[in-house]
């Protein structure tokens, strides 16, 4: 009798212990997430917990490095539109998969960067009619010491998707703002390149060496530019023959192409083009100044890459006026061109 009573007491104790357990079958079946986080992760407010994605997996500390290659499968209804930042979190938990190809990145991560719409004003606006540069997608600027201290972050969001920065003149002059502009434009995410103002009184080799000495060779920089024009305000007022002009440009361009690995772009104005470049250098990209009409009117038959359409642009990021330019192509063509640099 004593043994039977003891057994009964033990049986009652076991039953009562089971009733007080917190790991009931109902709780497990519900799949409720754990409130715990690993010590190595700080959860942003809009990120879903990963604690019970696969309940059959053992618990482990998940590091940032382990999560870096993880791709979240997002339902189409929550797909992020091109150009937006981040992906909205759906009401249901996405499945976590590894080893999958990453989806196409949104615009702001592509080679050419996010394309900002044109927000510049113009002190002397021109009605270009159907050929308005505003119809083209990718606008930019060119700057020098005369723009002073530039707010590059603001300039970019106002439409400076690219910038050409004055670097050198002749064989011994460096624009005093070049290094500052070169650094700050990069920090602001502006695709930038450097340009050289050519002097007809110095040898082409000297000028190329001077440019190379002062302009860094960087993988993400735009192709260098040679600015060729007649300039009566310069100390060099010499006007040499067409043959000598072409010879000097070729020497300068060849030296820069060998060093930077990119074919230079030729910037010019209508009078200089008419005197020296019409029908010449057809295998070079051109950047054309045309502030009153479409380039096709002043440079018939010439293909162009950039069009400088205003010398009187206005921006909250710059004191005074600024040159405005546009890329000859669509947004997708811009990204493809940048990717080929």
Q: Is 17 exposed, middle or buried (0-12, 13-18, 19+ CB in 10 A)?
A: exposed
247 is catalytic: no
Contact 335, 162 (CB under 8 A): no
Alpha carbon of residue 21 to chain centroid: 58
Clarify whether 187 is annotated catalytic: no
Q: Do residues 165 and 197 lie in contact, with contact meaning Cβ atoms separated by under 8 Å?
A: no
> Of 122, 206, 229, 254, which is the active-site residue?
229
From residue 91, give the alpha-carbon distance in Å to each of 22, 77, 96, 247. 28, 11, 15, 67
Nearest to 64 by CA among 96, 38, 98, 93: 38
Cα(216)–Cα(194) distance, integer angstroms: 9
- Cβ(304)–Cβ(324) under 8 Å? no
Return the CA Rg of the chain. Answer: 32
Q: Give me the active site residues, please.
A: 142, 229
């Amino acid at each position: 009798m004593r043994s039977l009573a003891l057994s009964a007491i033990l049986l009652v104790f076991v039953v009562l212990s089971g009733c007080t357990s917190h790991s009931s079958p109902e709780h497990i079946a519900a799949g409720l997430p754990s409130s715990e986080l690993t010590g190595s992760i700080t959860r942003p407010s809009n990120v879903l917990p990963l604690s019970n994605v696969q309940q059959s997996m053992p618990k482990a500390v998940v590091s940032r490095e382990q999560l870096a290659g993880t791709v979240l499968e997002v339902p189409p209804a929550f797909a992020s539109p091109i150009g937006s930042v981040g992906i909205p979190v759906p009401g249901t938990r996405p499945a976590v998969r590894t080893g999958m190809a990453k989806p196409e990145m949104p615009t702001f991560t592509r080679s050419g960067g996010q394309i900002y719409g044109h927000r510049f004003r113009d002190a002397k606006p021109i009605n270009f009619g159907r050929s308005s540069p505003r119809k083209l997608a990718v606008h930019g600027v060119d700057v020098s010491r005369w723009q002073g201290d530039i707010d590059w972050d603001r300039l970019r969001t106002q439409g400076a998707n690219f910038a050409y920065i004055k670097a050198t003149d002749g064989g011994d002059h460096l624009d005093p703002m070049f290094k500052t502009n070169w650094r700050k434009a990069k920090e602001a995410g502006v695709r930038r390149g450097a340009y050289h103002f050519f002097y007809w009184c110095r040898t082409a080799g000297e000028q190329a060496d001077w440019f190379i000495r002062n302009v860094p060779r960087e993988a993400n920089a735009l192709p260098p530019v040679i600015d060729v024009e007649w300039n009566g305000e310069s100390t060099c007022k010499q006007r040499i023959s067409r043959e000598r002009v072409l010879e000097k440009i070729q020497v300068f361009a060849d030296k820069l192409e060998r060093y930077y690995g990119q074919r230079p772009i030729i910037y010019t104005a209508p009078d200089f083009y008419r005197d020296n470049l019409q029908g010449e250098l057809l295998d070079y990209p051109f950047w054309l100044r045309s502030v009153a009409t479409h380039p096709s009117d002043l440079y018939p038959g010439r293909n162009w890459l950039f069009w400088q359409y205003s010398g009187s642009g206005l921006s909250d990021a710059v004191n005074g006026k600024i040159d405005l330019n546009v890329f000859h192509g669509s947004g997708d063509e811009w990204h493809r061109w940048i990717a080929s640099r």
